[in-house]
Amino acid sequence: MKKTTTRLADGRELIYYDSEEEAGAGGGTPVREAVDRRPLEPVATHSELRHDRLLGDTVAVASHRQGRTYHPPADECPLCPSREGRLSEIPDSDYQVVVFENRFPSLTGGDGRCEVVCFTSDHDASFADLTESRARLVLDAWTDRTRELSQLPGVVQVFPFENRGKEIGVTLGHPHGQIYGYPFVTPRTSLMLRTLAEHRERTGRNLFDDVLADEAADGRRVVLDGEHWTAFVPHAAHWPYEVHLFPRRRVPDLPALEEDARAEFPSVYLELLRRFDRIFGPDQPPTPYISGWHQAPFGTPQRRDFALHLELFTIRRTSGKLKYLAGSESGMGAFINDVPPEAAAQRLREVAST
C-alpha cells in the first residue's frame, strides 16, 4: 500500500491510499501531485462537548453542521474526482481510496477528529460492488487511520463506520464512510465495558469469548462461518436484520488484527453486504444500513479483554417498511424487534451467493 499525504486549499489533511494490485493494467501506483485549486477560506468550525448529568454521557453541540452539503446532483458531488470546470474535495482526476478531514465535523480541534473515507471514485457504485482487493485496501486504510488517530492528544476511541441510504440520513450518495476519533468513551462502549467486567467477576471468563462460543454451539443464528471470521445475528438483536462479525482470535482493534484474518475479511464482508441487498427480493431498492467497527478505547485497563468486531444492521424491517424508533426505543432505550433473530439468520443464509 502506498500512502500519499497532502493538504486541501483550506488546510485540511487529505490522504490517498493506493495499491499496485488496484492500479490496473499499467501496473505501479499513481503519482499524486494534483493541487486543490479551489479558493477556500481556512476552515472555521467549533463544537462543544456537554456532559449530561443525569445519564452520565457526552453530547457534542456542532451548530456549523447546519450548512453542510445536502443531496447535491450527481454532477456536483464533492466526493467525485476533480475535473476541468468541476473542482471537488479530491484534487486528483481519479483515486482508489481517499481519506480527508471532514469539512463539517461533529468533533473539532482538541475535542476529537472526524474524517471522510471514499471507497471508490465510481459515484454509482456501493461497497458491495468493490473487488476483494479494493475492500482490502479500505481495511488497510481503516487500520492506518486507527493507528494514526490513536496518537492524537485527547483521542480515546476510534470508530470507522458507513451510513448507506437516504433512509439512514445520508446526505451524499457517493460510496463513502466516516471515521470518528472520540475524545471520550462512547455510551455504547461504556456499557460493553461494564458488562464485560461484571461477567469476568462473576465467571472468571471473557464475555466476548463466551458469546462467540455460545453462538457457534447453538448454530441457529450463525450466518456465515469462515476460517478466521464468524458472522451471527445476536440472540437479543435490536434491529430487524442485524449481524455481528467477529474474528475468531480476539484482538482489541484493527491494528492488532493478524494477516490471515485480514486476508479473509474482504470475501466475508462483501458476501454479507451482498446478502443484505438480497434480503427483501430483487425488485427492492438497495438495503439501507449502518456498519461500524467497535474497537477498544485506549488507556482503559480492560483494553486487552475487549474484542474487535463489526456490527451491521438495517432499519428496513420488510419490503417497503422501515423500523422507526418510537416511544419505547427513542424515549426509554428499550428496543422492540419485529423480526425474530433466528428468522433473520435463516433469511440471511437463504440469500447466500451461489
Task: State the catalytic residues.
Answer: 176
First to last CA, the chain: 32
Half-sphere exposure of 130 (CA within 13 A, CB side): 28
Residues with Cβ within 8 Å of residue 149, at least 6 apart in sequence? 113, 115, 155, 158, 179, 181
Residue count (the chain)? 354
Distances (CA, A) of 316 to 161, 199, 331: 18, 33, 20
Rounded Cα gap, residues 129 and 121, in angstroms: 12
Q: What is the DSSP letter of 329?
A: I
Q: What is the DSSP letter of 163?
A: E
Rounded Cα gap, residues 36 and 94, in angstroms: 14
Rounded Cα gap, residues 143 and 255, in angstroms: 5
